[in-house]
Chain A
Amino acid sequence: MGTLDSIQLVFQSIFASGLVLASLYVLMAAGLALVWNTLGIFNFTHGALMAAAAYVAWTVADPRGLALGLAVGVVAAILVAALLGFIINYLLVAPFLGQKQIVLIAVMTTLSGAFFIENSALLLWGPRIKQLDKFVEGNVRIAGTTISGHEAIIILLAPLLMLGLWAFLRFTWTGSAIRAVAQNRDFAELSGVRVQRMYAIAFAIAAALAGLAGIMLGAIRFITPGLGGEPLLKALIVVILGGLGSMPGTVLGAYLVGFGEATSTYFLGAYWTQAVLFLVFIGFLVLRPNGLFGKQ
């Protein structure tokens, strides 16, 4: 009886922390996957966009800033992130599209972009650590363990957001156009879709998604210019594991990494877990570069 109880307890705590992590990873990876699917590049500014959005939300919302309240802060931050995404695409990606080495060039230009955004944040907001208010106070009990209300929101937000993204891509004209461009650029162009514009829109949406992830993170971690560094790596891992080019794969990848990480953290501790994660990632790249669910 006793051992069964403690096994159940272990399971519950792993489940709760895994679910929170997984939901965060969904938020972080969605935008990265959208850009990869549509433009065929990895956007390394994704993490920096998270940090930028968190800073903007803080400035607009916090009493030491504009003191306009959290809701205004969130909206403002998402809009700014989308705008930044648009600019990034215009300056760092669009001019290089069509070059033979675009995938590799984009890595370098977006890495530079991330460098730029992070250091701008440092200049604008200084090194003092900041934190956003939680969306809701108080705690929630799920599956026998207690998590914060904010974490509960993250858990709910992740599937809702993916559903929204799916519906957008599926049922709106713009969404269909983006999918068409992703599937066959030349054909889409012949059918009158303005490819460059779809790229810009997809990039802006992805940046907005990064912004949202940054805001959610900004309330549970400290806001620093490097806020998005680790999440970017996690998002990369998730997107690769899920299989490049597959949205459902990305979601599955996020839950897999989240629960895997929670389990491993419980048994091996946080430090080893990170090492194991990268090891598994490398193994994966070698054995199944197209991911768990990608086409071979």
Chain B
Amino acid sequence: METKLRTAAIVAFFAILVALPLVNGDSYVRHISIIAIMYAVLVSSWNISLGYGGVFNFAHMAFFAVGAYATGILTKTFGFSPWFGMPIGIAASVAASILVCLPVLRLKGIYVILVTFAFGQLCLQIVLNQRELTGGNFGLVQIPPLEIGTFSFRDHQNIGYYYLALAILGLTVAVVSWFARSRFGWRVVALRDNEPYAVSRGVPLSRTRLLTFALSAVFPGAIGAVYAQYVRSASPDMFGFSFLTLALSMLLLGGTGTVWGPIAGAFVFTILSEVMAPLGPGRYLVTAVLIVLILRFFPKGLAGIPQFVAQLMRGSRTGQLYPTESA
């Protein structure tokens, strides 16, 4: 019953997204949809390391930025075909994730936040430093777009980018769903729940952590590349606090450690931001208040709602934060 409902919801969700461009050709709606889809990919892949892994990895948005810059620089300055953009973005992002994971292996708690955040700042300083390559403060502009023959991905209100981003989202959902039910996923969750116990049962700590980082970095790398080709630029703001806070609030709003929470969070939040656009900076005040309220009163986020309802209906059964095989 629950499984059927779930499958139906997934099919409906993607059916709506696939059909949307057929019924709505408005360029503003198209742009917002693309951005929401990209956020959904970023946040649900962040969920792998932060939610399931319980590792406070604050470098996830830096992986996205690294992917965007690597794609931009190699396709614009070094003449690689834009079709190599995505592989380049993924390779750069995964390499960055492994680099940052090495110190993380030795650290705990607040130090993980600090070292991952410092990594993003280090990347930012290098970007600002290498002005000839990266455009420094002004960002990297005129990144070559994707084209097939005479068809540009920008034609028909960016329809090419829309479907490309949607395909990546589909893949992300498939991978995260697989992950949550795989032996690898159990190991990741086991390490989060109780590290010494997991180690005492033969879970390989370093290898699992490294793979967690690498897997979660594939998606920001891919989306970073496509984003750079879509807006045709990469900017140092991608390493900034604001961007990080925004993505974090989507993750918290949606609920960590579930497949659908972060995606719901990304969509609800992007739409909310657009609705609040007339408020100017005021919408960030709402964002900030929202994060604190969620942390205070709904630590499970949107993902906690169905369970909350189910609990009301079923009575005694206490809640289960993370999906298991039975769900």
Contact = CB atoms under 8 A, between A and B. Distances in A.
Interface in B115-171: 115, 118-119, 121-122, 125-126, 128-129
Interface string A85-96: 000000110011
Given A115-B245, A123-B280, A289 B285 contact: no
Interface in B89-115: 103, 106-107, 109-111, 113-115
Contacts of B291: 108-109, 112
A278 B118 contact: yes
B115 A286 contact: yes
A119 B122 contact: no
For B109, B121, B280, which residue has the most chain A Cβ atoms within 10 angstroms?
B121
A71 interface: no
Contacts of B269: none
Contacts of B289: 112, 116
B107 A119 contact: no
A156 interface: no
Contact of A275 (B129, B241, B295): B129
A42 interface: yes
Given A236-B114, A271-B125, A282 B103 contact: yes
A257 B51 CA distance: 35
Contacts of A92: 292
Given A109-B295, A111-B245, A119-B285, A104 B110 contact: yes
Contacts of A112: 245, 249, 287-289, 291-292
A285 B287 contact: no
A104 B295 contact: no
B134 to A, nearest CB: 11
A229 B291 CA distance: 20
A-side interface size class: 35 or more
Contact of B241 (A105, A111, A236): A111
A119 B291 CA distance: 15
B242 A272 contact: no
B66 to A, nearest CB: 15
Contacts of A265: none
A19 interface: no
Contact of B292 (A91, A107, A122): A91
A233 interface: yes
Contacts of B79: none
B41 interface: no
A285 B281 contact: no
B-side interface size class: 35 or more
Contacts of A115: 241-242, 245, 284, 287-288
A258 interface: no
Nearest to A127: B281
Contacts of B241: 111, 114-115, 229
A174 interface: no
Contact of B122 (A42, A107, A282, A289): A282
A112 B247 CA distance: 12
Contacts of A233: 121
B296 interface: yes
Given A115-B245, A116-B288, A286 B107 contact: yes
B107 A289 contact: yes
A279 interface: yes
B109 A122 contact: no
A240 interface: yes
Interface string B267-286: 00000000000001110110
A274 interface: yes
B114 A120 contact: no
Contacts of A266: none
B125 A104 contact: no
A113 interface: yes
What 5 A-B pairs are tightest by C-beta distance, nearest first?
A116-B288, A278-B122, A271-B129, A275-B125, A119-B284
26 contacts: A92-B292, A103-B110, A104-B109, A104-B110, A104-B113, A111-B245, A112-B287, A112-B288, A115-B287, A116-B288, A116-B289, A119-B282, A120-B285, A123-B280, A123-B281, A123-B285, A274-B128, A278-B118, A278-B121, A282-B115, A282-B118, A285-B107, A285-B111, A285-B115, A286-B107, A289-B111
